[in-house]
Structure 1
Amino acid sequence: MAQIGSLLMPNASAVVDGAVVGSPPSETKKPRLYLSGPEEATAAVAQPFRSSAIQPLMLEGGIGKASALKLSYTSHQKASRVLAAVAYALASDHGVEEELLDIARGRTAGYLTETEYFPKTAARAWRWAPELREAAQALGDAHLPTALMDASAEVVERWAALKDQPTGVTEALDRLHTAPEI
């Protein structure tokens, strides 16, 4: 979005970054329109939506913040649904789909809300990566795509150096930007 903004700025008075999160408006759903950019311009874009079924929300920090939020949410929301479908397909292939559903129904919160669990995941990554590789193998054996599991294993391998170490959320997330030590 920053690149698009820089291309438009010579001919535009302002550029606003916008991202819609949520389903189309209905009686029970009110999507959010996140806006970022110059304050006066984002306020002008938000104004027509204030009395609509779309909730405008301004983000501080300039162009790119709205798009970054949308892609951050998308990376979880859409990929987690795809991953759930693949997990269910594997369970179904082995006749354990009802047991998988029973386990899932016992969860009370989504993983995206459990940020305090990231450091615990990082400390256990040394044993999770091999399990994810085994899951990829099981998916392949069932003729299901393996890329999601392989990618998940690659991600947790970046936490390998944190084996059984207490760490904070920031350090755990920072470590994801670093290639694993070999």
Structure 2
Amino acid sequence: MDIGFIGAGEMGAGLAWAFGRAGHTCRAVASGRSAETQARMAEAGMEPVDDLAALNASSQVIFSVLPPELAEPEAQALAEATRDGGPLVFVEANAISPMRARRIAGMFGDNVRVIDGGIIGMPPSEDNRPRIYVSGPGADVLAPLDRAGIEICPLGDDIGRASAMKMTYAGLTKGTNALLTAVLLAGEQMDLTEALRQELSDSQPAMFAKAETTVPRLPADAGRWVFEMREIAETFRSEGVPGGFHDGAAEIMDLMAGSEFGHETRRSRDRDRTSAQTIAALARRLG
């Protein structure tokens, strides 16, 4: 299968690596991309193309795996590039609300089969096999990719169901990360850090261990997760569930993204920095 990718970040390149190992050919637009992105593409065995028109012409399936704030404008650009083209399967696999997923699906003509996707898990590797929840008419076209480093999990014919799955799941996992950060930061601001850490270690050891390992990693991803938290909040509100918690989570992510560690990526982050040092830096931002 010829597979194109809009986005060659850690997840997009990871999927391409897995699909390539299963015998599929993967491509992405290389022009205008950073040196780090081009290095990821090369490591994943992705073939470079010049632009979206070339990606469309060389692909049977195109996955969009981007920072979620780029999902809609990039989908619009692809919709324009495919307007007079042949048949294509477009997998909208970004962390966006069901409402946005449905809006994106409506951009495309009849020659494009749009599949809603929600990725859960870390990028594919020797140790990781993420799940891709899919929904939309004809989503079974992706069956050849099942077990190709991923698991395909169908959720029916309605566009938006896979995105809703992503929103609810990430609302828990990333929302918990934001809550842990907020609690530790509040403790730091009130000069309770040592006492709070000791109490958490004694009475909530699992939560404390999660904070110790997770909080130092968050600045590398926080910038991409601000918009995602807001999408979760809007998703919850659309169903009558209060969204304020995840509005607050977006503020925490934004605080981390603007910190002295906000320039880090998953590849470049300081793996020796502790959660206490990370929280202290966030406190300095608050003043």
* Gapped regions of structure 2 (runs ≥ 5): 1-100, 208-238, 243-287
Aligned pairs (5 A) from 1:1-182: 1-8=101-108, 10-38=109-137, 41-47=138-144, 49-92=145-188, 93-94=191-192, 95-96=194-195, 97-105=197-205, 176=241
The alignment covers a number of residue pairs equal to 107
Query: What value does the CA root-mean-square deviation take over the aligned residues?
Result: 2.3
**Structure holding more strand per residue:** 2
Partner SS for 1:7? coil
Partner SS for 2:110? coil
Partner SS for 2:119? strand
- Distance between the aligned counterparts of 1:175 and 1:17, measured in 2? 23
Partner SS for 2:172? helix
Q: What's the offset of the Cα at 1:15?
A: 1.5
Identity %: 29
In structure 2, what residue type is equivalent to 1:55? E
The aligned counterpart of 2:76 is none
Relative to 1, partners in 2 of residues 1:51 and 1:73: Cα closer, same or farther, differing over 3 Å?
closer
1:44-93 per-residue CA deviation (whole Å, 9 max, x = no partner) reads: 1232x223111111102411101111111111211110111221233453
1:105-124 per-residue CA deviation (whole Å, 9 max, x = no partner) reads: 267xxxxxxxxxxxxxxxxx
* TM-score, length basis structure 1: 0.51
- Distance between the aligned counterparts of 1:37 and 1:75, measured in 2? 23
Task: Select the structure of larger CA radius of gyration.
Answer: 1
- Distance between the aligned counterparts of 1:80 and 1:103, measured in 2? 18
**Structure holding more helix per residue:** 1
> Is the 8 Å Cα contact of residues 91 and 100 (structure 1) preserved in structure 2?
no
